[in-house]
Structure 1
Amino acid sequence: MKKFFIIIYILTSLHFSINTIAQHQEILDKPTVWKEKSNGKIDSISILNAFKNGHFSGHFRYFFMNTNNEKGLSDYYANALGGGVKFETAKFHNFQFGVSGYYIFNIGSSDFTEKDSITNAPNRYEVALFNIQNPSNKDNLSRLEELYLKYNYKNSTVTLGKQLLNTSFINLQDGRMRPTEVNGIWVDFNEIKKTKINLGYLYGISPRSTLKYFEVGESIGIYPTGVNPDGTKSDYTGNLDSNGIYVFGVQNESIQYLKTVLWNQYVENIFNTALFQMDYNYTLNSKSKLLFGFQTTYQTALNFGGNKDQSKTYFQKNSNSQTFGGRFGWKNKTLELTLNYNRITAKGRYLMPREWGRDPFYTFMPRERNEGFGDVNALMTKLHYTHPKKAFKSQLAVGYFDLPDVKNFALNKYGLPSYVQTNADIRYEFQGLLKGFDAQLLYVHKFNLGETYGNKNYVFNKTNMSTINFIVNFNF
């Protein structure tokens, strides 16, 4: 609590002393967690003026979550309330300084220290609204988030320090109270027409549902780790060595209606992942389009995958994985209907630390992932409606996920059986008196389709369960 008030005091003091004059995002979208306004003011003549002409942003969120498991297994609920502020200076010789902090209150929730009596497994979803490293912590939930120095050059920027990113593999994954953030240097180069280039070296990660930044190696394994390919419990938490993550990305739209994306993520000493994606919009008439998409990823281990002792490594030595997927759809001004497919081949598990971001696949559905699996066939259809005034949006999605048997440890890291998932998502952005508020209602249900061998550990928090989320945001 004390740390939070110190952050608020500093930021509020800045506001009154020098400024008297003045939930879900798609991958690759510019982060808009704070919804701050673009600061296009002319370069200030002094550091003092840069601070005086800076601006504050604020974000408050209420989050209710309730999970209902199969009869006989434990159910959970949580109420979280949080708020924070961000300050960014105006430009001074093209430089800007930014800082933000946030605090979360547990205002009434289940006891997350109590494990399910049948499986002895802990809560999965609700605890992630707070601090997964200390489930009993209900008071000291403050977090220093951003702290960066940014240089602006024409349409491009170079940012050094703690910041928000939204890439194919490292992204906000903001389905809880606060998103994942990174520490490093990031180049956003936009000087080539219809081309965006990104370069980055990242040496720290602050995963969603934690309160601090971690070195790259130690950030892997904060979330549940599953099992090794031989079925023994994974033991890579705290045992991985890496000097950082090198990221390169190119997005090009020089061909009309076609967007191509290439990403390569090199995690020193552990693994490398490359992604290629093409999305094409074919105009049928003035009101509608056909949508086509193709995506593939390829992964390979580096050295020993993080640790010479293969019982303590993340990516098994000499192993690799490959995925490919496609999308076909139709859209007009209010409706978008897509059919999506993704295949993870049987070459090996697709691995990407869950602490860093969500899956980039066309078939991704909130509240579950296909990371950690091989030999997967996923099929998902989604209908999205946007009201003409864009204040109301709704989405219905149904997905079928054919996974390896839960005892096929080499290709099923987390013991998740095949399942069908349905998502219903409604969002509303208020206007008039309540402008700045938005609300979201998300309902998820997962039906089991796989063999569980009478072991409820393959069911609890995985299938035959539902979760309902109600979220209210206020941004200023």
Structure 2
Amino acid sequence: MKNVSNRKKAYALFLLMAIATQAWGQDSLWQNLVKGSIYGEWRSFYMVTDNTEGLKDFQALTTGGRIGYATKPYRGWNLKTVFYASQSFGISDLTALDSASQRRSRYELALLDIQNPEDLTVLLWGEAYLQYQDERHQLRIGRMRLKTPFLNLQDGRMIPTLVEGGWYRYRQHKWSAEGGVIWRVAPRSTSRFFGIGESVGINGIGRGLTGESSLYRGNTTSNVILIGNVNYTPFRDVQWEVWDYWVHNIFHMPYTVLFWNKDFEDWKFISGVQYAFQHKVGNGGNDRPLFSYFENPGVVHMVGGRVGGEYRGWKLTLNANVIRGDGRFLFPREWGREPLFSFQRRERAEGTGNSEGMMVQLTKDWEFRKWKLKAVAGYGYYWRSDPLNAFENKYAIPEYEQLNLNLFADIGKRWRVEYLIAYKANKDEAATRRASFIINKVDMANHNLVLTYRIGDERF
């Protein structure tokens, strides 16, 4: 019944947009509705998680994509709507539990509806918004894709994270500003939009500070997310960004990052620093600690640094991050993946305190005939507290090292082939005392093969 109700709301929203456009006159309505552009993509995704001997392996094959329509602008105004769908082939039962750990699939489930993994079809009217845009201004109201450092698409699966709200951007020569209010979220791999508090906990919830299983799923009270940003480029080689995230009744987190990239005769110097801190707002989501998402008793700090260089298509960087403070770095995994310099795909620092990560990454771009090729290789070492220490390790992830290899091939303008392998090795001998500390976390390899075909062009 909830899905039916949400569809009715989506249809009503689109109808209101059409009425608003019609206010400009019949000629403009005809231009908007008929002379628009159709765009989207079709994607097929095959994933395998190969766990260590004695633990269950998982695999999934899914196809689907998105199809959108953008009306032709009239006096800067236009409408956009996008429909998302995915279909799994059910080659393995992702709801089946591993007998030793009593854990199910972690990565493959995100190719399905993570709330209803037995349903192999996922449908979502994910975007429907009214937009105004000129050389300096952009305003969007409705359901949309949004990319910020922490709240973002996290689109490494079939259906990305989408939001509903209002968003405004302003651009000048050396600086820009953007921000808005979000009142609903459709987390990645779900079939509907949720209220802010309702969306927290749809993914794994981990443990509370004292070790008991958290109970904040379905018990978090929060109405809106407020986000603001200023981006300043005082010189050609320097870029400074400041972001601010305020989540009603949960937490507040300012974030800043400074890049300095200097061009020399035949190579480029690359560097950057980043910093964020967060503290509780209100009761963290609920008056009862075990039902509260944000339990941290004090402030948590995150610091990162990057240095490297680029030469003839080769790019090498050394990246590091440190998390300190009274509690754990927390940002709902349902809303996006983190921008920390030491981040590598298939794992995160979210949920950890008193932790460090160091990662070296090598990237190469080149062309072969009509193919554009790219390879990204990364090796990182990630220090974590004992998995039994729930205060500093929400998801019981051991200390580990990670090796990633990501290959991309763009064939013409429409086709892209991608392969990713992520291998994580356990570096905490004591972690072997429990299978739940190992499965889908360490001593495992995750393989991904993705084929994408782009449909049309998003002209408006």
TM-score by length of 1: 0.88
If asked which structure has higher relative contact order (CA below 8 Å, sep 6+), I would say: 2
- The CA distance in 2 between the partners of 1:68 and 1:106, in whole Å, is 20
Residue 431 of structure 2, aligned match among 452, 457, 460: 452
Aligned equivalents of 2:381, 2:432: Cα separation in 1: 21
Pick one of 241, 244, 256 that aligns with 1:264: 244
For 1:453 and 1:138, locate their aligned partners in 2 and report how far apart those are by CA, in whole Å: 34
Q: What CA distance in whole angstroms lies between the structure 1 residues aligned with 2:59 and 2:135?
A: 48
TM alignment of 1:345-356, pairs within 5 A: 345-356=324-335
- Look up the match of 1:96: 78
What is the CA-CA distance between 1:436 and the residue it aligns to? 0.3
Partner of 1:199, secondary structure, is strand
In the alignment, what sits opposite 2:210? 230
Partner of 2:110: 128
Whether the 8 Å contact between 1:164 and 1:172 is mirrored in structure 2 is yes
Contact 1:89–1:97 (CA<8 Å) still a contact in 2? yes
Distance in structure 2 (CA, Å) of the matches to 1:83 and 1:257:
38
* Cα 1:44–1:468 shift into 2, 3 Å: farther
Once residues 258 and 357 of structure 2 are traced to their aligned partners in structure 1, the CA distance between those partners, rounded to angstroms, is 19
3-state SS, counterpart of residue 457 of structure 1 = helix
Percent identity, aligned pairs only, is: 32
**What corresponds to 1:145 in structure 2?**
126
From 371, 392, 395, the equivalent of 2:350 is: 371
Counterpart residue type for residue 252 of structure 2: N
Counterpart CA distance in 1 for 2:26 and 2:151 is 34
The residue identity in structure 1 corresponding to 2:34 is K
Q: Are 2:306 and 1:327 aligned?
A: yes
C-alpha deviation, 1:153, in angstroms: 3.5
Report what 1:207 is aligned to: 187
Instruction: Please say if residues 258 and 279 of structure 1, whose CA atoms lie closer than 8 Å, have aligned partners that are also in contact.
Output: yes
1:292 paired to 2:271: yes
Question: Could you say which residue in structure 2 is the equivalent of 1:188?
Answer: 169
Q: What amino acid is aligned across from residue 394 of structure 1 in structure 2?
A: A
- Alignment match of 1:50 (pick from 32, 41, 57): 32
CA contact 1:304–1:317 (8 Å) conserved in 2: no
Question: Are the equivalent residues in 2 in contact too, given 1:281–1:291 (CA < 8 A)?
Answer: yes
323, 343, 351: which one aligns with 1:344: 323
Matching of residue 380 in structure 1 with residue 359 in structure 2: yes
Quote the offset at 1:194 in angstroms.
2.2
Asked if the contact 1:45–1:92 (Cα under 8 Å) also holds between the matched residues in 2, the reply is no
After TM superposition, where is structure 1 displaced by more than 6 Å over at least 4 residues in a row? none
Give the aligned partner of residue 29 of structure 1. Answer: none
Whole-angstrom CA distance in 1 between matches of 2:56 and 2:342: 29
Aligned twin of 1:316: 295
Offset, 1:108: 3.8
Partner of 1:174: 155
Contact 2:297–2:326, Cα closer than 8 Å, also in 1: no
1:165 maps to 2:146? yes
Paired letter, 2:403: T
Q: Do 2:65 and 2:158's aligned partners in 1 also have CA atoms closer than 8 Å?
A: no
Question: 2:62 corresponds to which residue?
Answer: 80
In the alignment, is the contact (CA less than 8 A) between 2:226 and 2:245 conserved in 1? yes
Secondary structure at 1:48 match in 2: helix
Q: CA deviation at 1:91?
A: 1.0
CA–CA distance in structure 1, aligned partners of residues 242 and 146 of structure 2: 16
Measure how far apart 1:169 and its partner are: 1.1
Structure 2 counterpart SS, 1:203: strand
- Provide the residue aligned with 2:51 in structure 1: 69
Give the letter aligned to residue 119 of structure 2: N
Summarize deviations over 1:340-369 as a string: whole Å, max 9, x none. 000001432000000000011001100110
Aligned alpha-carbon RMSD (Å): 1.8
SS at structure 2 position matched to 1:311: helix
What is the SS of the residue equivalent to 1:64?
strand
Q: What is the CA–CA distance in structure 2 between the aligned matches of 1:145 and 1:184, rounded to whole Å?
A: 13
> 1:273-297: per-residue Cα shift (whole Å, max 9, x none)?
1101101012232x21111110000
**In 2, Cα distance between equivalents of 1:338 and 1:284:** 17
Aligned pairs for 1:270-289 within 5 A = 270-285=250-265, 287-289=266-268
Query: Against the structure 1 CA distance between its residues 404 and 299, is the aligned structure 2 distance closer, same or farther, given a 3 Å change threshold?
Result: same
* Structure 1 residue 159, shift from structure 2 partner: 0.2
Structure that is richer in strand per residue: 2
Write out per-residue CA displacement over residues 444-465 of structure 1, whole angstroms, 9 at most, x where no aligned residue.
1000011215101000100000
C-alpha separation in 2, matches of 1:154 and 1:175: 31
Where do 1:413-424 residues align within 5 Å? Answer: 413-424=394-405
Per mean C-alpha deviation after superposition, the further-off stretch among 60-69 and 48-57 is 48-57
SS at 1:115's partner residue?
coil
Structure 1 residue 105, shift from structure 2 partner? 1.0
Counterpart CA distance in 1 for 2:401 and 2:135 is: 48
Name the SS of the counterpart of 2:290 in structure 1.
coil
- Measured after TM superposition, the shift of residue 388 of structure 1 is 4.8
Cα displacement (A) at 1:251? 1.1
- CA deviations 1:156-194 (Å, max 9, x no partner) are 21100000011011011111112111000000111x212
Match of 1:440 among 418, 437, 440: 418
Q: How far, CA to CA, are the matches of 1:209 and 1:148 in structure 2?
A: 21
Task: State the one-letter code of the partner of 1:358.
Answer: R
Q: Which runs of 5 or more structure 1 residues have no equivalent in the other structure?
A: 12-42
> Structure 2: which amino acid aligns with 1:349?
R
Number of residue-to-residue matches in the alignment:
432
Name the structure 1 match of 2:458.
none
Distance (Å, rounded) in 1 between the aligned partners of 2:354 and 2:303:
12
